Amino acid sequence: MRSNGLIMVDHPDPEIIFLSYSESGAGTGELTPKKHLSLFERSPRPAEFFNDVLVDPAGKLAVVSCYTGKLKIILLKAGSYDQDFDVSCVSLL
């Protein structure tokens, strides 16, 4: 049996850690980090009050909110990291 997951580590050095869980035939489980994706911004940008990551039910896309006015979009393939890019958001208020 094999499963994938991710963990978001918050400020001051935010990052996403992609994990793989596998179980041996004997029933022992192992959690292995597969990728670390830094979310740290070098330019001055205020941190969000609420940091979160949302994964779509099909497991093909994750959206990370870490800084005001910016989202990190992560594309997933077979539940694992494929690629990422940033999207700027403009507040309408």
Please tell me what DSSP assigns to residue 46: P
93 within a domain of the structure (yes/no): no
C-alpha distances in Å from residue 2, one per residue of 16, 24, 46:
20, 10, 38
69 within some domain: yes
What are the DSSP E strand ranges found in 25-90? 29-38, 47-55, 61-67, 70-77, 80-88
Q: What is the rounded CA–CA span in Å between residue 41 and residue 51?
A: 14
Number of domains in the chain: 1
- Express each pLDDT in 42-92 by its tens digit: 776 677 777 889 999 888 999 998 888 889 999 999 888 999 999 988 765
Does this model's pTM top 0.85? My answer is no
Q: Would 92 be classed as within a structural domain?
A: no
Domain that holds residue 81: 2-87
Evaluate whether residue 30 is within a structural domain: yes
Residue 64 lies in a domain: yes
